[in-house]
Amino acid sequence: MKALILVDLQNDFLPTGALPVPRGDEVIVVANRVMPRFPLIVATQDWHPANHGSFAANHPGRKPGELAELGGLPQVMWPVHCVAHTNGAEFAPGLDTRHLAEVVPKGTDPAMDSYSGFFDNGHRKATGLGDYLRAHSVTDVYMLGLATDYCVKATALDARQLGFATHLVLDGCRGVELAPGDIDRAVAEMRAAGVRVLGSDEVPAAN
Ligand SMILES: [Zn+2]
Q: Which residues are found with C-beta within 5 Å of the ion, ligand 1? A: 46, 107
Q: What is the CATH number of the domain that holds 146?
A: 3.40.50.850
| 203 neighbors 177 (Cβ within 8 angstroms) | no
CA of 205 from ligand 1 middle (Å) equals 32
pLDDT > 90 in the chain, percent = 99
Q: Residue 75: inside a domain, yes or no?
A: no
Whether 13 has a pLDDT exceeding 80, the answer reads: yes
The CA distance from 12 to 145, in Å, is: 13
Amino acid at 19: L
Mean pLDDT of 71-76: 95
| 52 neighbors 120 (Cβ within 8 angstroms) | no
Task: Choose, from 2, 8, 82, 113, the residue flagged as catalytic.
Answer: 8
Q: Residue 70: inside a domain, yes or no?
A: no
The CA-to-CA distance between both ends of the chain, in Å, stands at: 9
CA of 111 from ligand 1 middle (Å) equals 12
Task: Choose, from 46, 106, 149, 158, the residue flagged as catalytic.
Answer: 106
Task: Choose, from 151, 153, 158, 173, the residue flagged as catalytic.
Answer: 151
CA of 206 from ligand 1 middle (Å) equals 32
82 included as an active-site residue = no
Q: Which residue segment(s) compose the domain that 167 sits in? A: 2-45+90-202
151 included as an active-site residue = yes
The CA distance from 112 to 95, in Å, is: 28
pLDDT band at 207 (very low <50, low <70, confident <90, very high): low
Mean pLDDT of 78-87: 98
pLDDT digits (tens, 9 = 90+) for 143-167: 999 999 999 999 999 999 999 999 9
Q: Residue 31: inside a domain, yes or no?
A: yes
Sign of the torsion angle spanned by Cα atoms 127, 132, 137, 138:
negative
Q: Residue 58: inside a domain, yes or no?
A: no
Q: Residue 51: inside a domain, yes or no?
A: no
CA angle, residues 86, 146, 50, in degrees to nearest 5: 30
Q: Residue 57: inside a domain, yes or no?
A: no
CA of 161 from ligand 1 middle (Å) equals 22
CA of 46 from ligand 1 middle (Å) equals 5
C-alpha radius of gyration, the chain, whole number: 16
Q: Residue 73: inside a domain, yes or no?
A: no
CA of 52 from ligand 1 middle (Å) equals 9
User: Whole-prediction pTM value?
Assistant: 0.97
Dmax (CA) for the chain in angstroms is 54
The CA distance from 206 to 39, in Å, is: 7
The CA distance from 191 to 127, in Å, is: 24
3-state secondary structure of 187: helix
CA angle, residues 101, 102, 106, in degrees to nearest 5: 160
pLDDT band at 100 (very low <50, low <70, confident <90, very high): very high
Per the structure, how many domains does the chain have? 1
Whether 191 has a pLDDT exceeding 90, the answer reads: yes
Q: Residue 63: inside a domain, yes or no?
A: no
